[in-house]
Chain A
Amino acid sequence: MQLSENFNLLDLTDENKTTTTLDWVKAFVLLGLAAYFAYNILTGNLTNYINTRFVWLSYLAVVIFGILGGASIYALIRHDPMVRDSSHTTVSWSMLGLVALPLVLGTLIPSQPLGASAVDGNIDTRVATVNGASAITKDPLTRNVLDWLRVFNQTDSPASFDGQSADLIGFVYREPDFAPDQFMIARFTVACCVADASAIGLPVTWAGAGDIADGEWVQVRGAFQAADFRDTIMPILIANTVDIVEQPEHPYVYP
């Protein structure tokens, strides 16, 4: 066992000193990750990354990272010998660097949810009829973009929604071929985490559309009117008012 360790190149250079520094860094990366998860929970940034349904996992991560980091610190303070067991790979600097990367990116790059610039032409105006029933039973004025798309999907007649009022929050998304008075009110749906995020949107017609920048969060109040949108007849939201609002606490909608 001893002999095999000597083949580890890192261990050849002043073994004890390297090991101790590395162990301190290791302990602080673990505690740092615990702090990063806790920070995300406290600031609410967590909802930029995952569905709120899975927030309890991050609580679990804080606890386990904390315990693992605490055990490492305790071992260092007590000068306990390193754990050496049969199949164990010694922690190296490259491992530390890679595992610390989420910490670095999470600290250096301001946390932002996926928005208009992440859509890239890939936006759905139809969604699969999952949980469609619950969307129908909702009060129409509390339906979000996803609820409306689900309700639309239940029928073949877009005109049946003519005159129905809606009150929606989303970000503004445009493509080059949109008319000057048109934009889409869009949201990302996140079933689990942003890995499965997909953009959905409803076409909006409003005379003042040109004054609103892409990616701006807006609250649109208006009524639907079936019309042609990119070669398909679908309900289009004719806006009465469009107000610029703060980004909501939960930027994604959860299917």
Chain B
Amino acid sequence: MQNTTQIESDIQIGADRQARQTLVRLILALGGILILIVLALAILSTGDDPLATLSIFSTRFLGIFIEAAPFLLLGTLVSGLLEVFVSKEDIVRWVPRNPFLATITGIGMGFAFPVCECGVVPVTRRLFTKGLPMSAGVAFLLAAPVMNPIVLVSTYIAFGQIAPQIVIGRFVITAIVAGAVGLIFAYSARPQEVLRPVSLVPVRGGSPEAKSLVPQQPAFIPSLYRALRIGGDEFFDMGRFLVIGSLLAAAMQTLQFNLNGETRSIQDLLFTLGQGPVVSVIVMQVLAFVLSVCSTVDSFLGLAFYGTFTGGSILAFLTFGPMIDIKSTLMFAGVFKKKALIYLIVLPFLMTLLIGVWVNLNLSF
């Protein structure tokens, strides 16, 4: 069945997989060392009871994990169900081929696949293997964590009464940035240049043999069973990044150091720096990146900063954070090639920064 080209590309996949595993191991090792250093510093610098520090760290870590895990589970379940029940042909039928229309579809698709940023990567990866156009996939990846019913509700609960403009702004800015980045990817890169081969397998070549890889639609119950098993594995694949992200976020909040005789955490230092129309936006973007709080709940965090920080910076926090943070960056690294990954981070960063600064200078939030 396999011809020479097939075998060569399999070797290529093997090499890429190995490279990726090395990269992941490297990140894991560095993350582990960083966390140890951070904890050691925290304990040494304040002279507090190390057990108390560990207890606070554990509470913060578990808090984020317990809040995020259900959403990650829902995301991986959706991913498993998509793999089993949605055929490539369905996607091809639903999504327009025109890049502009495909981008718009991608932006709105979150309402059909309600996932947060923990869950969006497995779903996007799955959709890419099903033949989703590049522009729609990238727009979906960036927009879906905000453009979905759950986040609409949580953002409305947080800001609906005191600042409805934040609710509207969050959705408008996300649509603009996700659409723009999706179009840039559609017109300047081919899928082979953007995606890691792991995410391309069934699409690649498009040979008649590839079709035999897709199982024929079996009965409902066996399909569901298969979806559950895929979902279970996917939870481990994505869950490790949630754990690393939560560990780092908890460490950042727990880490303290002495500044002119006062004990301050890194987060507090960011607050003090966070004034002015430009710096405040950058500070909130960094905070969103580091905290890695799930998009379904980050509006409550934004609410806590509302009033202290500028309106533009709150909007940047609520739009950039769901697109790019520590967790999603690590997960993106498993799907996108390095160059595409850099664009995928830098473009949303610059766009939300520009819009945030513009809001600060031109609108009174």
A155 within 8 A of B: no
Contact check, A57 vs B125: say whether CB atoms are below 8 A apart. no
Q: Which residues of A contact B165 (CB under 8 A)?
A: none
A224 within 8 A of B: no
Q: Which residues of A contact B202 (CB under 8 A)?
A: 86
Q: CA–CA, A95 to B330, complex, Å?
A: 14
Q: Which residues of A contact B228 (CB under 8 A)?
A: 67-68, 71
Q: Which residues of B contact A195 (CB under 8 A)?
A: 60, 63-64, 67, 249, 253, 291, 293, 301
Which residue of the partner chain B has the closest CB to A98? B240
Contact residues, A189-227 vs B (CB, 8 A) = 191-198
Stretch at the interface among B5-13, B178-186, B351-359: B5-13
Contact check, B55 vs A112: say whether CB atoms are below 8 A apart. yes
Q: Which residues of A contact B334 (CB under 8 A)?
A: 89
From known contacts A83-B230, A91-B237, infer whether A114 and B59 are also in contact, taking CB-CB under 8 Å.
Answer: yes
Contact residues, A74-128 vs B (CB, 8 A) = 74-75, 83, 85-91, 94-96, 98-99, 101-102, 105-106, 109-114, 117-118, 120-122, 128
**Residue B48 contacts which of A60, A83, A117 (CB distance < 8 angstroms)?**
A117
A72 within 8 A of B: yes
A42 within 8 A of B: no
Greatest chain B CB density within 10 A among A48, A75, A95 is at A95
**Residue B66 contacts which of A46, A99, A101 (CB distance < 8 angstroms)?**
A46
B262 within 8 A of A: yes
Greatest chain B CB density within 10 A among A30, A40, A60, A193 is at A193
Return the CB mask of A58-76 against B: 1 if under 8 Å, else 0: 1011001101110110110
Q: CA–CA, A99 to B234, complex, Å?
A: 12
Which residue of the partner chain A has the closest CB to B73? A64
Inter-chain contact total with CB atoms closer than 8 Å: 206
Which residue of the partner chain A has the closest CB to B243? A98
From known contacts A105-B62, A194-B63, infer whether A130 and B162 are also in contact, taking CB-CB under 8 Å.
Answer: yes
**Residue B233 contacts which of A49, A88, A114, A193 (CB distance < 8 angstroms)?**
A88
Contact check, B56 vs A114: say whether CB atoms are below 8 A apart. yes
Contact check, A117 vs B10: say whether CB atoms are below 8 A apart. no
**Residue B125 contacts which of A30, A61, A87 (CB distance < 8 angstroms)?**
A87
Q: CA–CA, A3 to B2, complex, Å?
A: 11
Kindly provide the distance from the CB of B210 to the nearest chain A CB, expressed in whole angstroms. Answer: 10
B176 within 8 A of A: no
Q: CA–CA, A60 to B68, complex, Å?
A: 12
Q: Which residues of A contact B265 (CB under 8 A)?
A: 120, 122
Q: Which residues of A contact B233 (CB under 8 A)?
A: 26, 83, 88-91
Q: Which residues of B contact A26 (CB under 8 A)?
A: 232-233, 236
Kindly provide the distance from the CB of A88 to the nearest chain B CB, expressed in whole angstroms. Answer: 7
Stretch at the interface among B17-25, B89-97, B275-283: B17-25
Contact check, B225 vs A96: say whether CB atoms are below 8 A apart. no
Contact residues, B258-302 vs A (CB, 8 A) = 262-265, 268, 291, 293, 297, 300-301
Q: Which residues of A contact B243 (CB under 8 A)?
A: 98-99, 101-102
B229 within 8 A of A: yes
Contact check, B17 vs A49: say whether CB atoms are below 8 A apart. no
Contact check, A120 vs B263: say whether CB atoms are below 8 A apart. yes
A33 within 8 A of B: yes
Which residue of the partner chain A has the closest CB to B128? A87
Q: Which residues of B contact A110 (CB under 8 A)?
A: 55
**Residue A4 contacts which of B14, B63, B244, B247 (CB distance < 8 angstroms)?**
B14
Q: CA–CA, A226 to B341, complex, Å?
A: 57
Q: CA–CA, A193 to B246, complex, Å?
A: 12
Kindly provide the distance from the CB of B60 to the nearest chain A CB, expressed in whole angstroms. Answer: 5
**Residue B63 contacts which of A29, A49, A75 (CB distance < 8 angstroms)?**
A49
Contact check, B11 vs A191: say whether CB atoms are below 8 A apart. no
Kindly provide the distance from the CB of A20 to the nearest chain B CB, expressed in whole angstroms. Answer: 15
Kindly provide the distance from the CB of B153 to the nearest chain A CB, expressed in whole angstroms. Answer: 12
From known contacts A101-B243, A112-B55, infer whether A68 and B232 are also in contact, taking CB-CB under 8 Å.
Answer: yes
Contact check, B303 vs A117: say whether CB atoms are below 8 A apart. no
B208 within 8 A of A: no
From known contacts A30-B232, A192-B301, infer whether A40 and B249 are also in contact, taking CB-CB under 8 Å.
Answer: no
Q: Which residues of B contact A37 (CB under 8 A)?
A: 66, 69
B15 within 8 A of A: yes
In order of increasing CB-CB distance, the 10 nearest A-B pairs are A7-B14, A194-B63, A191-B300, A193-B67, A98-B240, A71-B228, A49-B63, A192-B300, A57-B70, A68-B232
- Pull 28 A–B residue pairs with CB atoms less than 8 Å apart, ordered by A: A1-B201, A3-B14, A4-B14, A6-B14, A8-B17, A8-B21, A30-B232, A46-B66, A48-B59, A61-B73, A64-B73, A64-B77, A68-B73, A68-B232, A72-B229, A72-B232, A87-B128, A96-B236, A98-B244, A99-B240, A110-B55, A117-B56, A120-B256, A122-B265, A128-B307, A191-B304, A192-B300, A193-B64
**New contact pairs (4) apart from A88-B237, A91-B233, A94-B25, CB-CB < 8 Å:** A30-B235, A61-B73, A192-B300, A194-B60
